[in-house]
Amino acid sequence: MANGPIGSMTALITPFKDGKLDEATYEKLIERQIAGGVSAVSPVGTTGESATLTHEEHRRCIEIAVATCKGSGVKVLAGAGSNATHEAVSLAQFAQKQGADAILSVAPYYNKPTQAGLFEHYKAISESVEIPVMLYNVPGRTGSDILPQTAVSLFKACKNIYAIKEATGNVERCVEIVASEPEMAVLCGDDAINYSLLASGAKGVVSVTGNLLPNKIAQMVANALAGKFDEARAISEELFALNKVLFCESNPIPVKAAAFLLGLTPTLEYRLPLCAPSAENLVKIEAVLKRYF
């Protein structure tokens, strides 16, 4: 199995200022993650609004993440996915060249490939780089579902495909993959069921909530991986209300609002078609935050 990052990882938000990437704030957010004890940061994924970044911005986020994490021991799991295989390959090769430790490659969206197409897509990406590759399955967004047997087949066929981020909300998926291929790492992509997947054999999480409380997520994962499931469950239950409110609207709308309310970002900006949360949900987010900060 490729030696890719596992443990507690944060799916980073991408801060904007006057419509542009706020590089200084982005660096500070990553430094806060390092101080929080996470295993890795994941720039330009779903939470990072990668779908509306320019290619230049996408690449710049990876550059900043790698530079900021250098020498810290925190790894960079760079978002490098596309619905065009050649584009995903290009992003993966860029991430490798910049020094990313691994890539996270979302299932191709919109064009709805078959399982055979998914296999060939990821095989091409895998063969284009030497660094570890994590599959990213989030069918609710992509309309494309990497079935367990396809994930396991890719793991067996491609030496650097080492893991899958499962964001189906389905615990059974994790159990099926772990039972079929124990050496393949499963990472939870749904904060609400982080503990459930960890208790079912997952090797870590890629967390949205980690943007706000990286230390708590890191503690929970460390406890679970050490077999301290009572302690891990206690943290999971403590975070329930926060995990829930951060998905009251489409991610990353609530978490960016929360980061702004906490003073982690100086501005609250999104890229259309994403926009600010409703006034009602903003009140909900603020009320929940008061329970934790």
Residues with catalytic function: 136, 165
Listing DSSP states for the chain in one string gives: ------EEEEE----EETTEE-HHHHHHHHHHHHHTT-SEEE-SSTTTTGGGS-HHHHHHHHHHHHHHHTTTS-EEEEE---SSHHHHHHHHHHHHHHT-SEEEEEPPPSS---HHHHHHHHHHHHHH-SS-EEEEE-HHHHS----HHHHHHHHHH-TTEEEEEE-SS-HHHHHHHHHH-TTSEEEE--GGGHHHHHHTT--EEEESGGGT-HHHHHHHHHHHHTT-HHHHHHHHHHTHHHHHHTTSSSTTHHHHHHHHHTTSSS-----TT--PPPHHHHHHHHHHHTTT-
Residues 6+ apart with CB under 8 A from 252: 13, 46, 47, 48, 49, 208, 274
Residues 16 and 270 sit within 8 Å (Cβ to Cβ): yes
185-188 vs 16-17, strand pairing mode: unpaired
CB 21 within 8 A of CB 43: no
* Beta pairing partners, 204: 7, 187
